[in-house]
Amino acid sequence: MDISTTISSIKLKNPTILASGIMDEDAGSMQRIIKRGGVGAVVTKSIGLTARRGYPNPTVIELEHGILNAMGLPNPGIDHYGEEIEKIKHLQTPIIGSIYGANPDEFIELSRRMEDLDVDALELNLSCPHTKKYGLEIGCDPYLVRKITCAVKENVSIPVFIKLSPNVTSIIELAKMAEEAGADAIVAINTVKAMKINIDLRRPILSNKIGGYSGKAIMPIGVRCVYEIAENIQIPIIGVGGITTGEDAIEYFMAGASAVQIGSGVYYRGIDIFKTVCSEIENWMKKHGYKKLSDLIGVAHI
């Protein structure tokens, strides 16, 4: 059974990837994920030029069908985070460096420095739903998406993936702009903009009021976005949002994704979820007569 996949020039032994923001704050947590043997690649925490504390608590709440968070992109900055990447490079699992910035110049500087750390690819976070300066103000503007993608592609030689938001009028237009600018893959989707109010206190629960919703409830949105993007572009797509089982991943593959990222699923099924999902994918493929994962990609397009 062949469940390997290729995204641009990166060959993955299986199609599961640790999503940014989940157990990637330091080398120790990423090592735990990698050493369990199930993950195909890991995405780092989204890193900026300088350290950022993020928002004060409360920043995360569990809801009935998912997780709502407004962390505010806390990170130690590229200078210090580089030390964490150095500690896991020997583990021979592809590392995708996630970066965010306020303008093309910041993305250029970060992309160059991430490439110097020998990451295998870059993921440009253009879609954080709860930070205006670093998120939706950039990710909602197709021409700014194109400008940033173009700028980064001109300054690095490793693959560049663009992470898009569902909180836009047309995710198709954004994906097209990224492809025209030379992006090597699209990552869809980031979390869905949402909030929760404490009716007794009559106040929003999150300190930032607005957060990003992830988990099972957003999976139909993610699948729809992947399907629509696949109808309109030729570069690979990495599906994200609500994946907790092999069957979930297969739905994304049929919609057009070549790989999937798992984030909140780690919370629900533990760090062995990658190994478990791969086993479930293989069992489903065997039951339905598929020998190669590539034969599943996009089959729902009729």
Are residues 155 and 109 in contact, defined by beta-carbon separation less than 8 angstroms? no
Catalytic-role residue among 128, 150, 225, 278: 128
pLDDT digits (tens, 9 = 90+) for 9-60: 999 999 999 999 999 889 999 999 999 889 999 999 999 999 999 999 999 9
% of the chain at pLDDT higher than 90: 90
Residue 134 has pLDDT above 80, yes or no: no
pLDDT digits (tens, 9 = 90+) for 262-278: 999 999 999 999 999 99
The residue-averaged pLDDT of 118-144 equals: 79
pLDDT value at residue 94? 98
Residue 129 has pLDDT above 70, yes or no: no
The architecture CATH gives domain 5-54+73-196+214-295: Alpha-Beta Barrel (3.20)
pLDDT value at residue 133? 56
Distance from C-alpha of 187 to C-alpha of 260, rounded to nearest angstrom: 9
For the purposes of burial, counting CB atoms within 10 Å of the CB of 154, is it exposed (0-12), middle (13-18) or buried (19 or more)?
Answer: exposed
The residue-averaged pLDDT of 108-120 equals: 98
Are residues 240 and 263 in contact, defined by beta-carbon separation less than 8 angstroms? yes
Residue 1 has pLDDT above 70, yes or no: yes
Domain ranges in the chain are 5-54+73-196+214-295
pLDDT value at residue 232? 98
Are residues 17 and 96 in contact, defined by beta-carbon separation less than 8 angstroms? yes
Q: Give the list of residues 6+ apart from residue 49 with CB closer than 8 angstroms, or none.
A: 77, 78, 101, 106, 109, 110
Distance from C-alpha of 151 to C-alpha of 129, rounded to nearest angstrom: 23
Verify whether residue 150 is a known catalytic residue.
no
pLDDT value at residue 25? 86
% of the chain at pLDDT higher than 70: 97
pLDDT value at residue 130? 57
DSSP bridge partners of 186:
162, 237
pLDDT value at residue 194? 95
pLDDT value at residue 138? 74
pLDDT digits (tens, 9 = 90+) for 135-176: 556 778 899 999 999 999 999 999 999 999 999 999 999 999
- Band of pLDDT at residue 127, cut at 50, 70 and 90: confident
pLDDT value at residue 136? 55
Distance from C-alpha of 280 to C-alpha of 68, rounded to nearest angstrom: 27
Q: What angle do CA 75, 137, 68 make, to 5 degrees?
A: 55
Q: What is the pTM of this model?
A: 0.96
**Token code pair at residue 164:** 């898009």
